[in-house]
């Protein structure tokens, strides 16, 4: 769980996200936390041009997973539960940047300036695409998926907090059963396979909230639940200066969360202003290990 200060920040960010019109029917936008769940060191991450690892199409059986967890009651809720990756063991000053594309009404745009900058600077990133965003931008999603600089992650089908009993985050109702949680993951899992030809390795819920049963469901479906250590843009509500200052707090082995579907937000300018400084300070951007 997170402390009171972080909780306050999250609530502030949620309120701002709501005010900004982020939230559409049922599901909304991700926000901040802090912790240090650790993965193994990155492999082959030294070369930014190295393509992310490819998973074969999963042999997971979604019906069996839903049946396995039927009737299970969750014991925990949050953004940094056991099993949610919020960092990795860095061998140097490696850092992973991630961008969510949340999709849905008003959230299907794309920050082309930010993506062009990442490409020009050869900065790898993991892009968590919601199914609604992919469906609104299929050609662009395909281009991004074909670029080895970017790894495509699963940001859910309807952008719901992942719950087995309907628990809400920021007044956004979560999935209400194990079957609904499976469907939220699997609908976009299948969509990404259709897009890329391989299964997504990583999953992040809409709002980044999970219960402990949902974390297990994601794993059983062959994906790794991902959180973050650095909330860079507060659901695309932060100013460019805030984003810049947030990014400059990056620590090796961290994972930043920001958004790529709000080109008029401060996110892009803040990233353009801060990432070169981090590179000058010796940071190396890597895919999630």
Residues making contact with Zn ion (CB under 5 A) = 29-30, 100, 102, 206
Nearer to Zn ion, 211 or 233 (CB): 233
Other C-beta atoms within 10 Å of 78: how many? 19
Whole-number Å distance between alpha carbons of 172 and 11: 12
Contact 159, 132 (CB under 8 A): yes
Nearer to Zn ion, 30 or 247 (CB): 30
Whole-number Å distance between alpha carbons of 166 and 25: 14
Q: How far is the CB of 136 from Zn ion (least distance, A)?
A: 14
Q: How far is the CB of 40 from Zn ion (least distance, A)?
A: 27
Whole-number Å distance between alpha carbons of 108 and 132: 8
Q: Which residue is nearest to Zn ion (CB)?
A: 102
- Map residue 10 onto helix, strand or coil: helix
Q: How far is the CB of 29 from Zn ion (least distance, A)?
A: 5
Which of 78, 194, 185, 92 is CA-nearest to residue 134?
Answer: 194
Whole-number Å distance between alpha carbons of 258 and 273: 14
Nearer to Zn ion, 206 or 266 (CB): 206
Q: How far is the CB of 251 from Zn ion (least distance, A)?
A: 23
Nearer to Zn ion, 63 or 171 (CB): 171
Name residue, tokens 């620590």.
251
Nearer to Zn ion, 126 or 284 (CB): 126
Q: How far is the CB of 227 from Zn ion (least distance, A)?
A: 13
Which of 152, 134, 141 is CA-nearest to residue 51?
Answer: 152
- Structure token digits, residue 181: 């949680």
Q: How far is the CB of 205 from Zn ion (least distance, A)?
A: 8
Sign of CA dihedral 111, 115, 118, 124: positive
Nearer to Zn ion, 28 or 62 (CB): 28
């Amino acid at each position: 769980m997170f402390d009171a200060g972080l909780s306050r920040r999250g609530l502030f960010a949620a309120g701002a996200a709501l005010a900004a019109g982020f939230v559409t029917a049922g599901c909304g936008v991700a926000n901040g936390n802090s912790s240090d769940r650790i993965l193994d060191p990155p492999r082959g991450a030294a070369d930014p041009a190295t393509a992310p690892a490819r998973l074969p199409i999963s042999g997971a059986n979604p019906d069996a997973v839903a049946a396995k967890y039927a009737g299970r009651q969750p014991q925990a809720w949050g953004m940094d539960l056991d099993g949610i990756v919020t960092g990795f063991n860095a061998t140097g000053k490696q850092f992973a940047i991630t961008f969510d594309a949340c999709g849905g009404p008003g959230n299907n745009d794309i920050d082309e300036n930010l993506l062009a900058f990442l490409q020009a600077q050869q900065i790898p990133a993991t892009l968590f695409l919601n199914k609604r965003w992919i469906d609104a931008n299929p050609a662009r999603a395909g281009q991004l998926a074909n670029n080895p600089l970017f790894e495509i992650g699963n940001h859910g089908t309807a952008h719901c907090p992942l719950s087995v009993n309907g628990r809400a985050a920021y007044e956004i109702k979560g999935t209400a059963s194990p079957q609904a949680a499976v469907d939220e993951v699997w609908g976009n899992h299948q969509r990404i396979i259709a897009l890329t030809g391989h299964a997504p390795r990583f999953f992040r819920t809409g709002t980044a909230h999970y219960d402990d049963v949902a974390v297990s469901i994601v794993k059983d479906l062959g994906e790794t639940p991902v959180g973050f250590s650095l909330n860079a843009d507060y659901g695309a509500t932060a100013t460019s200066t805030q984003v810049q200052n947030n990014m400059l707090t990056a620590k090796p082995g961290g994972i930043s969360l920001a958004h790529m579907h709000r080109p008029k937000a401060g996110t892009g300018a803040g990233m353009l202003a801060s990432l070169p400084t981090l590179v000058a300070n010796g940071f190396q951007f890597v895919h999630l290990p």
